[in-house]
């Protein structure tokens, strides 16, 4: 057992020593590793601290940069807002300037004389078209708008002291003529090339670029032409800024007004002339219609009552006309029965009234038809107006002015004819009625003459005292108790 122990014990001791040595070696390695680890950790920690310090320094630097950038951003934001406000202000100023120039360009054509349209209208229209096509190119738009101001300044420079130029005008608003125009302040004068026509241009718009030129009455011939050619002379000046010239240009003679009435207007006036002619004829006819005076009729009746038939017939034969025929019929039937005399006088009296009233119905018809014919002319004129509007549009005033004029003029002509003819018709009827009453008075006088004759015959044959039959009879045959 001891040998075994001797053998095992050294081995155990050797193993233990070996294990201890291994453990110590491992411990040493572990300590070395720990030391290395601690050194590495220390190095890493030192590096981390240095990196942290570096990062802190970088963070501080970045913070300063951030603050600087924020301040720069605020400054730039403020500057941007200031620039935006300035841009808005500039845009407002630009829009205001463009608006003023636009209004000036648009109003320039309305402020200058229509005769100057042929000089400036096309240029102003081109400038306005270029400004509209500029879009967002503000410089180009402003330059186009400034063209109107340049044209205005150019015109002011040209009209100072008078401006002469070759151009066209509408003679009395209808015919286009060429000549030389003179712009002198607000007035414009035109002289035709051949010198046959001269006048003053009005301010009225004609719907074209050409002005209306009116030849003034009372202006000596050639004075305007001489002043335009020589540059000096006497010129007519309208202090009413063209209103007086326009009023004179709008004046029409009676012949021009009648001509605008058309066929219907001529028919109305012809009807009125015929009515006036008939009125004159009726006045002469009625006034010259012979009616015996009361004295002549009384003399005829006295001859008849005295049984002087031949004398009465001679006096009746001297009376002319239809009243004379009535007197002769009364003389020839005076001694007949009252009914026969009455019928004879009535027969002659019936023939008198148509003679006195002939053509008077035509006057009444004229008074009634003239307004209707005027209305017909009005309808035809309105139809012509709408046709002109359909062909030329409503902007061409001259195209349908004639239709409007005809419509209004025919209505006026119808009333002008109807009113006087209506009055004349009433007067003629009254005149004819008065003359007929005079003729009717002749017949009544003859009838009353038979009554006197009956009373005379009754007195010659009456008894000394009236009988009861006489008292119950005709009161006209009873003698007057006086």
Task: Render pLDDT for 90-129 as a digit per residue (tens, 0 to 9).
Answer: 888 888 888 888 888 777 777 787 778 888 888 888 888 8
The pLDDT assigned to 471 comes to 39
The pLDDT assigned to 191 comes to 82
The pLDDT assigned to 399 comes to 55
Going by C-alpha positions, the residue among 140, 158, 98, 101 that lies closest to residue 124 is: 101
Residue 257 has pLDDT above 80, yes or no: no
Residue 72 token pair = 């720069």
The pLDDT assigned to 293 comes to 72
Mean pLDDT of 33-40: 84
The pTM for the full model equals 0.50
Contacts of 97 (CB under 8 A, 6+ apart): 142, 145
Q: Of residues 239 and 160, which shows the higher confidence score?
A: 160
Exposure string for 55-67, b = 16+ CB within 10 A, e = fewer: eeeeeeeeeeeee
3-state secondary structure of 409: helix
Going by C-alpha positions, the residue among 130, 110, 131 that lies closest to residue 120 is: 110
Q: N- to C-terminal Cα distance for the chain?
A: 230
The pLDDT assigned to 476 comes to 39
The pLDDT assigned to 183 comes to 83
The pLDDT assigned to 6 comes to 65
Q: What is the Cα–Cα distance from 285 to 382, expressed in whole angstroms?
A: 43
Residue 468 has pLDDT above 70, yes or no: no
Q: What is the Cα–Cα distance from 270 to 266, expressed in whole angstroms?
A: 6
Predicted confidence band at 270 (pLDDT cuts at 50, 70, 90)? very high
User: Which tens digits make up the pLDDT trace of 223-246?
Assistant: 777 777 777 777 777 666 566 666
How many residues make up the chain in this entry?
A: 482
3-state secondary structure of 47: helix
Please state, rounded to an integer, the average pLDDT across all residues of the chain.
77
Residue 210 has pLDDT above 90, yes or no: no
Q: What is the Cα–Cα distance from 142 to 131, expressed in whole angstroms?
A: 7
Q: Which residues pair with 198 in a beta bridge?
A: 191
Residue 466 has pLDDT above 50, yes or no: no
Mean pLDDT of 375-392: 80
> CA distances (Å), 21 to each of 13, 24, 146, 249, 324, in order?
12, 5, 110, 145, 197
Q: What is the Cα–Cα distance from 171 to 285, expressed in whole angstroms?
A: 52
Predicted confidence band at 277 (pLDDT cuts at 50, 70, 90)? very high
Could you give the dihedral angle defined by the CA atoms of residues 31, 32, 37 and 41, in that order, rounded to the nearest 10 degrees? 100
At 421, give phi and psi (nearest 5°): -65, -35
Residue 470 has pLDDT above 60, yes or no: no
The pLDDT assigned to 452 comes to 62
- The answer to whether residues 224 and 189 touch, using CB atoms and an 8 Å cutoff, is yes
Q: Residue 177 — left, alpha, or beta (φ > 0 → left; ψ -120 to 50 → alpha)?
A: beta
Region of poorest pLDDT, from 368-377, 397-406, 420-429: 397-406
Q: Residue 463 — left, alpha, or beta (φ > 0 → left; ψ -120 to 50 → alpha)?
A: beta
Residue 51 has pLDDT above 80, yes or no: yes
Region of poorest pLDDT, from 234-238, 275-279, 380-384, 449-453: 449-453
Distance of CA 369 to the CA centre of its chain: 30
Q: Residue 351 — left, alpha, or beta (φ > 0 → left; ψ -120 to 50 → alpha)?
A: alpha
User: Which tens digits make up the pLDDT trace of 417-430?
Assistant: 999 999 999 999 98
Mean pLDDT of 416-443: 87
The pLDDT assigned to 464 comes to 44
């Amino acid at each position: 057992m001891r040998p075994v122990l001797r053998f095992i014990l050294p081995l155990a001791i050797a193993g233990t020593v070996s294990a201890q040595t291994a453990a110590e070696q491992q411990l040493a390695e572990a300590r070395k590793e720990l030391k290395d680890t601690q050194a590495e950790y220390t190095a890493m920690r030192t590096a981390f601290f240095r990196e942290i310090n570096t990062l802190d320094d970088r963070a501080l630097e970045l913070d300063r940069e951030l603050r600087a950038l924020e301040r720069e951003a605020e400054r730039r934001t403020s500057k941007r807002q200031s620039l935006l406000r300035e841009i808005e202000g500039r845009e407002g100023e630009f829009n205001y300037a463009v608006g003023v120039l636009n209004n000036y360009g648009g109003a320039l054509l309305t402020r200058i004389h229509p005769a100057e349209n042929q000089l400036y209208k096309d240029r102003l229209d081109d400038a306005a078209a270029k400004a509209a096509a500029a879009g967002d190119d503000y410089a180009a738009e402003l330059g186009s708008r400034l063209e109107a101001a340049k044209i205005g300044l150019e015109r002011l420079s040209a009209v100072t002291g008078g401006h002469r130029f070759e151009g066209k005008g509408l003679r009395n608003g209808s015919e286009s003529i060429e000549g030389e125009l003179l712009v002198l302040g607000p007035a414009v004068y035109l002289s035709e090339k051949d010198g046959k026509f001269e006048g003053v241009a009005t301010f009225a718009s004609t719907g074209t670029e050409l002005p209306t030129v009116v030849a003034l009455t009372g202006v000596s011939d050639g004075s305007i032409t001489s002043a335009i050619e020589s540059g000096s002379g006497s010129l007519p000046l309208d202090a009413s800024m063209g209103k007086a010239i326009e009023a004179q240009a709008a004046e029409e003679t009676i012949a021009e007004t009648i001509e605008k009435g058309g066929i219907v207007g001529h028919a109305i006036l012809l009807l009125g002339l015929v009515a006036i002619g008939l009125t004159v004829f009726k006045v002469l006819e009625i006034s010259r219609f012979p009616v015996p005076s009361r004295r002549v009729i009384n003399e005829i009746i006295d001859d008849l009552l005295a049984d002087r038939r031949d004398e009465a017939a001679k006096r009746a034969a001297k009376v002319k006309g239809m009243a004379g025929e009535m007197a002769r019929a009364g003389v020839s039937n005076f001694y007949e029965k009252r009914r026969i005399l009455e019928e004879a006088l009535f027969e002659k009296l019936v023939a008198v009234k148509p003679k006195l009233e002939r053509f008077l119905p035509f006057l009444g018809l004229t008074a009634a038809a003239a307004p209707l014919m005027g209305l017909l002319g009005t309808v035809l004129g309105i139809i012509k107006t709408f046709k002109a509007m359909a062909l030329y549009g409503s902007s061409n005033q001259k195209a349908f002015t004639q239709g409007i004029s005809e419509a209004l003029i025919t209505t006026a002509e119808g009333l002008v004819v109807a009113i006087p003819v209506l009055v004349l018709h009433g007067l003629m009827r009254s005149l004819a009625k008065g003359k007929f009453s005079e003729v009717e008075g002749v017949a009544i006088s003859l009838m009353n003459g038979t009554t006197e004759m009956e009373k005379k015959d009754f007195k010659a044959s009456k008894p000394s005292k009236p009988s009861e039959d006489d008292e119950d009879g005709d009161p006209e045959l009873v003698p007057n108790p006086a």
